Structure formats: C-alpha cells, structure tokens
Amino acid sequence: MGYPAIDQPAPAIEVSEWISGTPEKENGFSGKNVILEFWGTHCGPCIAAIPHLNELVATYGSKDTLFVSLTREEPHIIERFLEKRPIKGGVATDREGTTFDAYGIRSIPHTFLIDSQGLLRWHGHPNFFTAELLEEFLQTDNVPKVAEPTTSSETVPAVTPDTLFFLKIDRNASDRGEASLGIGDEQFEAEFYGFRVVDVICSLLDIPRSRIRIEGKDPEELLDIELRSFHPLKVKAARERAVDVLCDMFGIAICRVVEQKEGWTLTCSSPQLTDMSDLGGGMSTGGFNNKFTGSNLTIDQLADYLESSMKCIFFNETHLAGKYDFVLPVRAFDQTRRALEEEYGIKVESAVREVEIVILRMADAAIRAS
C-alpha cells in the first residue's frame, strides 16, 4: 500500500490516546488545516526534526492550523521522552497502527499537510516542509513545488533483516553529492551518492578531514554507496568492514602517526546541559537556517562536527560522558564559540596537543615509496 493521493480526501486520523495538546472537541480536525507528523522516540532523524517543527508550531499554530505528532509507542515511553524533549502541538499514540497503515507509512519521519476541506495537499520528509511552503499555503491555498533529493534520513519502524551486513557500490554514479548517516542502537545505515572514495572512507572512519592526510593522487571517480548493518554486528565493525572493502578495491593503504597540532579545546566546569542518555534512540544531526541541530550527541561527536564544519581541530577535555542536544548558530566561528559558552557552559580556547593523524596512501604513492 502506498501513500494517499494528493488532492484527494485524506484518511481519518485515529488516535489511541492523546499525550498532550488534545483537540477541544471530538471532531477537532473538522474544518482545520492539519500538519500530521509520523515519528518515533527511537528515530534519530525524527528527533533532529523536532526543533524545526516546533518553530513552525510557534509561528503558524492556531485554532485553525493544528500540528499533530503521531507515534506507535506506549504512552509512558512518550511521556518520559517529552520531559526532556518537548514537542509543541498535539502528541498522540496510534498503538494499533491504524493511522500509520492508512497513510502507507513504511519509514519515519514523514509529514502530511491536510487542508481545511480534508484534502491531502503535500507529504514528504519534514526537512522539506519549510516555513516558506506553509506560509504560501496558508496565504494563497497554493502548495509550492519543493525540490527534494531522492534520498533523505529515514528510519524503518520495524526491521527483520536476513543478513547482518549489506554493502552496495555503484561505479556509474552521478554528481548528486548527497549523503546521510543513521546510527541507532541496533542498526547502522549509510548512503553516499556521487562521492569520491576518499570522502566516503573519511566518513566511515568517523574521523574529520583535519586529522587525515592523503599521500598520492586520490581517485576522482564518483561512487554511489549504500551500507546497512544490523544487530548483533556492531557499528564500528560495520564501518571497518566497509573501509576494508573500499581500500582493497582502490589499492589504498592506511597508517597512523602522532603529531603536534594547533587546535581548540572544549572544557566545561559548569555545564548547562541535560543528559539524554536514558532516553535511548540514535544520534542525528541536521541544519536549518544557518543553525546546527544535534540530537543524542556525545561531546566527542560534537567536537567531530565542529572539526568538519570549522576546518580546524577540536580537543574534547570536558570529561562529560552523557549524550546531549545542541542547537548552534554556524554562520561564523565566533558565533558558535559564544553560543557554546553562554548557552551550554562549554568554553572554547586555543591550544596545542598531540593528535593521531590517519594517512591514506594511494596506490601511486605506494609504488613510488617502494
């Protein structure tokens, strides 16, 4: 069963139990615009989309425009989650999966826009349900076209894999330059479309480019790569296996050295952070309007993101062991640095430290060295 058709009556929204934001009356959706979000507390991309959707609720939510977030989980799980990650608008559970099935949901997150006449007007990943789209719809009743990539970060609600590891490499790739990573408690997914092998290896090694040195000429060929691994195969083992395959295929050798490098330390004497570790779920990152949004991040993962985006080395010296949510401005380094200190109690200071550098030696460099 696929998704309902656009410009046709949307299926009824059946709810097992409201957790928050209960409509004022039984037929509370009648005559209202409804933004319906299918999500889950275990879903990293869903969590990453919460700040964006909350902003839409704050700006456009009203008695005539309702936001509903629907999951299939038990109420006590949702309530515990909301204590640390509030969701604006209505939150409800569909334990029997009636509405999930009616809307053809096979992956989450997924957003639907239903107009006041009960017609389905748009659906897709919440990243592409922009303020501009909603604004134009509310003012003109027109839904503008949204350019969406063919892939985005999504989580399959229930997976019964027949294999622990799946790797697909297509050497006839386009130059799309799209990538996504999904890391959960029992599953790891990675997709790279139109990337060079060195860029894919760097991502799978989970090491910022600032700590990698390339010797020789790296292949310019673009690849499409899809990777899936499932419990009990650990994420680290899946990454390493994929790297081994790519290095063998392209004749790349890996070695490591320790060098003195300039960078920035992250320290924290008075943290202003809420540990999200006990909520479970996967790590996810995203960006909206020059803001970085990170969910379920360790400080090491935050430092990795800062290295990748700021193109300089960061050293985690906070001694914080939890997982945290961050929303940071990323237009300029000084902005990010100030926000980390003022909003999260994390100081950023220049320093020199010993750093492990990973060397990727290309086949031509290995031949010259021999």
| Structural domain total, the chain | 3
Q: Is residue 233 part of a domain?
A: yes
Q: Is residue 306 part of a domain?
A: yes
Kindly report the CATH number assigned to the domain that includes residue 70: 3.40.30.10
Rounded distance between C-alpha atoms, residue 252 and residue 264, angstroms:
30
**pLDDT the model gives residue 247:** 84
Enclosing domain of residue 222: 165-251
Are 50 and 132 in the same domain?
yes
Q: With a cut of 70, which residues of the chain have pLDDT below it? A: 1, 25-27, 146-165, 182-187, 230-233, 364-370
- Domain ends where: 251, 268, 295? 251
Q: Which of 29, 41, 38, 102 is nearest to 70 (CA)?
A: 38
- Domain ends where: 226, 251, 276? 251
Are 210 and 280 in the same domain?
no
Are 183 and 132 in the same domain?
no
**pLDDT the model gives residue 154:** 45
Are 28 and 133 in the same domain?
yes
Bridge pairing between strands 33-38 and 65-71: parallel
**pLDDT the model gives residue 364:** 58
**pLDDT the model gives residue 25:** 66
Q: Contact, 166 vs 187, CB < 8 A?
A: no
205-260 pLDDT, tens digit each: 888 888 899 988 888 888 888 887 765 667 777 788 788 878 877 888 888 888 88
pTM of the model: 0.55
Are 36 and 98 in the same domain?
yes
DSSP 145-171: -----S----B-SS---S-SEEEEEES
336-346 pLDDT, tens digit each: 999 999 999 99
**pLDDT the model gives residue 42:** 74
Q: Is residue 6 part of a domain?
A: no
> What totals of helices (H) and strands (E) does the chain contain, helices first?
9, 17
Are 225 and 288 in the same domain?
no
